[in-house]
Amino acid sequence: MEPGFEDEYDLVVIGTGLTESIVATACSRIGKKVLHLDPNDYYGDLWTSFTFPQLDDWARRHVQLAGGKNLPDNGSQHQQQQQFQSQHNHDQNNPSEKVNNQTSNIGISLSKVNLTAGEMVYPWESGINLISNVEPVSYMINEAPEKQDLDKATEEEEEDVEEADDETEPWTFEKLSTERNWGIDLVPRLLYSRGAMVNLLVSSNICRYLSFRSIERILSCLPGTDELMDVPCTRQDIFNDSYTSLIEKRVLMRFIQLCLELERRPDLIEGFEGFEEQPFIEYLRSKGFTPLLQHLVLNSIAMVDPTTPTQEAMEQLKRFVSSSGRFGNTPFLFPFYGCGEIPQAFCRLCAVFGGTYCLKRTIDGVVAKDDVINSIIVGSQQIKCQNLVCSLSNVPKSLLVPRQVTNISRAIFISSGSVKDSQCAGSLLRFPGPFPILVVESSWASLIAPKGIFVIYAWCDSFTGNAKEDLLPIARKLFNFESGDEMNGKPKLLWSCFYNQATVDCSSITDKYQNLYVTSPPVNELDYDVAIEEAKSIFDTLLPDEEFLPRAPDHDEIVIEGTQTNQEIDLD
């Protein structure tokens, strides 16, 4: 029998995704008592990093949930919205009926729930599924079957002929599954070296639990081809680049210089030569940018559309330039062991300041009076709490108001080579278009895969409603997608998975309880700005007069006295 929780918490949080974890940590950090639960047996919810077997299980489970077959489904957005809607009024039925029903769902007998006048018990059903259209494919040889044995034999022969370096045997499903060094992200991100997440990690001192690898290169797909070029990011790169002419180099160099000056003198951006509201492409043309330079600046450096107003594009450029050269050639960092480390790092600080953690647990019900939740029911325990924070997938459908859902198309490719000749590079690649596609390549060098393995992520806002349809064109550019074979300079594809992830702004997604806060699923962004902003806004609502994640003291700043309380060790 495991020990029970305490009888009262300031804050109960369900879901260990990033946004909830930041809120939990910020509250714990300033001395609030936090209980943090997650129905999953892993940290991070959708923000997690999986091992290969975990990812494969996850994919199969979702294929099964969808009824075994994953037929392309263009109407998925609509369906989701209908789902929200149909459940909405479900709550209006007779509360007494609800109380009778809930005894079977809740592990505590009704007579043991302490109810004061006006309080009611409501069961807490599991929430909505945000994942759809999951299509995993393995290109690897599996164990045993005859035909595949033959394949294997011929491959081995080939290898003998080639006397392949130290490449021992081809990757098999079995071999990938037994490797332990994995950190494959469902929602991959990069961090700007001077972006919101890096700043928060440094200012809160949570960075001591993490380390990062800088992304070595930014790639660009030359228009109309499958050819990938390295985007020159520094003066040195521009100087050495073989794609750009001498004149182009000079234009680009001068432009980067201008962006740097903008960083020092933000006032310059105000009167940007009359172009502020004009499309950025117009500005670039006026400055004599060749089509190649326009392509590079628009798609790889500013990462905006041609029609983006110049002022907005310049803000993006400033962000890029101010972050580049801080830790490496490009402005970007990627966490060792995968992005799933980031929510874990927050949770750890939360625990260090007294937060209680329990995975494989969620609440079974709430006790509420009118629109205020007074306590929660976990197993056989009734726990008082001031506020409840839940990730969207942990909120009962019946509490949600209808909302327009945005669908993000995502893909994970596991390969035994880089998308462009490299032993270990981390890369960022952006395919422009009305629905721009971001591609992040990470590898074993970031300790997210066994040696020699690359993991390539792609994502975009869905325009067909189906991840595979959205992302197939770029999958074909990067790999010999249908066969998975290594040829024409494209690496061997071992495994791939497409999936759609729904997201919706949850700031007012429920109006049922005034002390229930719902966090949004991951949105389509490269860094973590939106998630941090949302977490901070919830924290500011909960505790308007408190500081958001003040710096946690280092070990040598901690004085340990006879009895410890959080206050005594908090020297800030």
> What are the CA-CA distances from residue 131 to residues 190, 526, 568 (Å)?
22, 20, 45
By beta-carbon proximity to other proteins, the closer residue of 210 and 268 is 210
The contact mask relative to other proteins for 227-246 (x = CB under 8 A, - = no) is: -------xx-----------
407, β-bridge pairs: 502
The contact mask relative to other proteins for 255-274 (x = CB under 8 A, - = no) is: -----x--xx----------
555 belongs to the binding site for other proteins (CB under 8 A): yes
The token pair at 541 is 């609502």
Return the residue of 77, 244, 322, 418 that touches other proteins, per CB under 8 A.
322
212 belongs to the binding site for other proteins (CB under 8 A): yes
Q: How far is the CB of 528 from other proteins (least distance, A)?
A: 14
> What are the CA-CA distances from residue 106 to residues 122, 125, 158, 381, 536 (Å)?
9, 10, 61, 10, 33
CA dihedral angle for residue 286, residue 287, residue 292, residue 294, rounded to 10 degrees: -70
Q: Are 394 and 127 in contact (CB under 8 A)?
A: yes
Binding segment for other proteins (CB under 8 A), chosen from 200-208, 363-371, 451-459, 532-540, is 200-208
**β-strand pairing of 381-391 with 8-14:** parallel
560 belongs to the binding site for other proteins (CB under 8 A): yes
By beta-carbon proximity to other proteins, the closer residue of 39 and 279 is 39
CA–CA dist 491, 428 (Å, integer): 17
By beta-carbon proximity to other proteins, the closer residue of 120 and 260 is 260
Q: Are 304 and 312 in contact (CB under 8 A)?
A: yes
SS (H, E, C) 98-129: HHHHHHHHCCCCHHHCCCCCCEEEEECCCCCC
Q: Are 15 and 340 in contact (CB under 8 A)?
A: no
196 belongs to the binding site for other proteins (CB under 8 A): no
CA–CA dist 123, 366 (Å, integer): 6
Return the residue of 83, 103, 148, 199 that touches other proteins, per CB under 8 A.
199
Rg (CA), the chain: 26
# residues contacting other proteins (CB under 8 A): 60
570 belongs to the binding site for other proteins (CB under 8 A): yes
68 belongs to the binding site for other proteins (CB under 8 A): no
88 belongs to the binding site for other proteins (CB under 8 A): no
The alpha-helical segments, DSSP class H, found in 136-188 are 146-162, 173-178
> What are the CA-CA distances from residue 263 to residues 256, 273, 284 (Å)?
11, 17, 19
21 belongs to the binding site for other proteins (CB under 8 A): no
Could you say which residues in the range 282-321 bind other proteins, by CB under 8 A? 321
Return the residue of 353, 459, 528, 548 that touches other proteins, per CB under 8 A.
353
Return the residue of 25, 70, 77, 344 that touches other proteins, per CB under 8 A.
344
325 belongs to the binding site for other proteins (CB under 8 A): yes
Residues that bind other proteins (CB under 8 A): 2-3, 42-43, 180, 194, 198-199, 201-202, 205, 207-214, 234-235, 260, 263-264, 321-322, 324-328, 333, 336-337, 341, 344-345, 347-348, 351-354, 356-359, 361, 553, 555-556, 558, 560, 562-566, 569-570
